[in-house]
Structure 1
Amino acid sequence: MTDLRSTDPADADEPAAPVPPRRKGIYALPNAITLSALFASFYAIVMAMNGRFETACIAIFAAAVLDSLDGRVARMTNTQSAFGEQMDSLADMVSFGAAPALIVYQWALQDLGKLGWIPAFVYIAGAALRLARFNVNIGVVDKRFFQGLPSPAAAALVMGLIWVVDDAGIKNVGRIDWAAWSAFGVTLYAGLSMVTNAPFYSFKVFGGRRTVPFVVLVAIMLVIAVVALDPPRVLFVLFCAYGMSGYLVYAWRKFKGKPVSVIATSTDEPDEIGLHR
């Protein structure tokens, strides 16, 4: 097997490229986006306390969009920092852990009594465990997949249910058995799915490369157009499908006898050289 390391003597004489020091500063732009996501989740909680659940759901979806931007902006502007990483993780815990659990409890679970505590606590605990595991495994997880359901997707699943039911004009859902128990089941499912080992596609790498073909942009355009027709129902269906996709991938890999773990399963990523020995 060919050794990919250089054997040129000239290369051996050249000093290794210096590793840039880790930035310790606090940068305004990415952290401002993170704070905006945090405010959106705080606003969602306040709206839920006032019975405006549709507005609360939209605010959580806005927080998810902002959360997807802060890291990218930091990388594009070369303003990554340890402070920003910790800030983002703490904001995610509020936006996609505490806020959805409190909102769904206020919406339907409180009328179930202490039984309603179970899915709300499982959800918030699952989000905390999911974020902690993500931070620990960030260097060794296959970039094509998330290990467990991502917390923004879990929040979208719970908020999507609330948005669909509220948009249908159904109020006082805690007194409606099917609605309260639907909230119980979806919240419990989302909480437990965050701590499973099922591989959920990350959409960070397409076909082993980071760039995307033109047809992907066309597909994204069509999805946006379809979502615009009926945002509550279309988004809920999309996130339900995504929420089940990890288990389907897990079952398919099991059936084919392939590895089901997402810990360093990709061998074609330059960033993962040395993780497969």
Structure 2
Amino acid sequence: MSDPNGPKIYLLPNLMTAGNLFCGFAATLKILEGALIQAAAAPGRNAIAEAAAADKFYIAIWCILASCIFDALDGRLARLGGHESPFGREFDSLADIVSFGVAPALMVYRIVLHEFPNVGWIIASVYLICGALRLARFNCLAAADSAAANKEFRGFPIPAAAGVIASITLCLLWFDKEQREIGQGKWVLPPLMLFLAWMMFSGFKYPSFKAINWRTTRSMPKFIAIVLVILVTVLYYQWMPAVIFITYLLYGFLRPFLSRKMKEEIEEEVEDDDPLESP
């Protein structure tokens, strides 16, 4: 029998998901603004237009990275309060397809792929479609076995894929900060996008780190290491996010060769004795 009142909508987790969706939409708008600036550039003012468009792309990048933060928070808030729900999972996927599918695909298309109109839109579409299929597959796997889905991801998760694209683009803007536009490094983005599209459907497994929450405890050396990573990321925000996302990407290749003890040490796998985290 269906619930006449409809599904329950828990405030804080879904508020984080709404923030994810808002940032993804804002990123899309900024990319379109940059495209309009480039299209309206008068002859002889291309350098000025490219610099203005780069500023819009710069804001879009940070919006995508902010979406990654909101996406990480919504699930943790839901699990902390024991408020995981089918509604939240579906809402999260709808937000993800905008923030981590449409926005990165549109950004790479506008930066470089539009120069190849017959092929560029296909490459961007492949990434977007693979991202949508990956989200649908994850929801199916989570519905069948929520414990396994919470422990690890099968295939590279789409928020991390968007983080790789956004953080590398941020690096490219930083490398060419004097010209205030993305230089020849932009040609790495199309093959990277195709590679990430394949990785989202690959058999590589990635830890979800969903066991890490507000109640997680750490030893003093690990706590200091985490603080140092945060400080370095804040100080060198131009390239440190790329290091973090690429490290996570490469970890999926190295993971099968690590011993069980080493994997547990890295991924902090512990027995779940918290009643709020029990399925």
1:111 equivalent in alignment to 2:115:
yes
Q: Please identify, of 159-168 and 76-85, the stretch whose mean Cα deviation from structure 2 is larger.
A: 76-85
Find the aligned partners of 2:107 and 2:193 in 1 and give their Cα distance: 11
The corresponding residue for 1:15 is none
Within 5 A, what are the aligned runs for 1:12-23? none
Q: Which has the larger radius of gyration?
A: 1
Match of 2:53 in 1: none
CA distance in 2, matches of 1:240, 1:205: 22
Map of 1:29 onto structure 2 = 12
Match of residue 231 from structure 1: 237
Match of 2:206, SS?
strand
1:189 to 188, 195, 214: 195
Residue equivalent to 1:259: none
What's the TM-score, normalizing by structure 2?
0.74
- CA contact 2:141–2:149 (8 Å) conserved in 1: no
1:64-75 equivalences under 5 Å are: 64-75=68-79
Give the C-alpha shift of residue 65 in structure 1. 0.4
Q: Residue 159 of structure 1 aligns with which residue?
A: 166
Is contact 1:109-1:180 (8 Å) kept?
Answer: no
Is the Cα contact below 8 Å between 2:31 and 2:110 reproduced in 1? yes
Q: Which amino acid aligns with 2:156?
A: L
Please state how far the C-alpha of 1:81 moved relative to its aligned partner: 3.0
- Residue 269 of structure 1: CA displacement? 6.5
Paired residue for 1:49, among 10, 15, 32? Answer: 32
Query: 2 CA distance for matches of 1:72 and 1:145?
Result: 15
- CA distance in 2: counterparts of 1:248 and 1:88, whole angstroms: 29
After superposition, where does 1:127-146 map in structure 2 within 5 Å?
127-138=131-142, 139=145, 141=148, 143-146=150-153
Gaps of 5+ in 1: 1-22, 257-265, 272-277
Match of 1:100 among 93, 100, 104: 104
Per residue, is there more helix in 1 or in 2?
Answer: 2
Which of 80, 87, 90 lines up with 1:83 in the alignment?
Answer: 87
Coordinate RMSD, CA, aligned: 2.7
Structure 2 gap ranges (5+): 1-5, 35-55, 260-268, 275-279
- The DSSP-based 3-state class of the residue aligned with 1:231 is coil
CA contact (8 A) 1:43 1:59 kept: yes
Q: Deviations over 1:199-245 (max 9, x none)?
A: 12222358xxx754343322221111111222121111221222122
Please tell me whether the aligned partners of residues 28 and 102 of structure 2 are also in contact (alpha carbons under 8 angstroms).
no
